[in-house]
Amino acid sequence: MLSDEIQFSLLEYLDGSLPAEKLAAIEQLLASDGEAAEFVREQRSLDALMRTAPLPMINWNALSKQISSAVYEEVLPRHSWQIHWRWIGAAAAMAASVLIVGGVVLHHRGSVQNVVHVIPVVQPAEVASAIVIGPAAETANGASADVQVGPPVMMDNLPESVDPADGLVDRPSHISITAAVR
């Protein structure tokens, strides 16, 4: 049995496409190997038969119709997939997420190369402050006074809709004012 490689080389020898460097080796093979010589004789007789035999009469129109009808009658399985709206929404959400993350990554990737670090230098400022201490009870030097705290006598006849505390002003007794001086 001849190998495929030897058969291919013998067919190249027959049609004249065998490279010149292999020609001597194939002719020596044909002289020494009877199976190779028989293969070449069979191929030459097939070639001669094909050249001398008349071509069959083919009705090309009938052949075309027969092939077309066979293709038309072939039933192929049909597949149908139902697409649910929730899948479209989920796919759109995933695509939007990927786009957002990709945009952020590309934005930061491009901006990292051009970053200039500026560290502001803050000069210490002089601070001025003023403390104002408001009304405070002072002690009297030897004098005494009798003080009563309560509503005045004239407020006894006020209607109930009026609150006597509405006229009082409630202010803090201590104020701190601080400002930076430049």
Q: Residue 11 — very low, low, confident or very high, per pLDDT cuts 50/70/90?
A: very high
Residue 177 lies in a domain: no
Cα–Cα distance list, 93 to 58, 86, 99 (Å): 61, 10, 10
* Residue 147 maps to a domain: no
Token output for 144: 């005494």
Q: What pTM, to 2 d.p., does this model score?
A: 0.33
The range of the structural domain enclosing residue 36 comes to 4-52
> Is residue 160 in some structural domain?
no
Q: Is residue 33 domain-resident?
A: yes
Residue 39 resides in a domain: yes
Is 111's pLDDT higher than 60?
A: no
Angle between helical axes of 20-32 and 4-15 (0-180°, round to 10): 110
Helix 4-15 vs helix 34-52: crossing angle, to nearest 10: 50
Using left for φ > 0, alpha for ψ between -120 and 50, and beta otherwise, residue 99 falls in alpha
What pLDDT, in 10s, does the model give residues 13-54? 999 999 989 999 999 999 999 999 999 999 999 998 888 888
Is 161 within the bounds of a domain? no
Specify the pLDDT at position 4. Answer: 93
Is 32 contained in some domain? yes
Domain count, the chain: 1
Say if 34 falls within a structural domain. yes
Q: Is the pLDDT of residue 114 over 60?
A: no
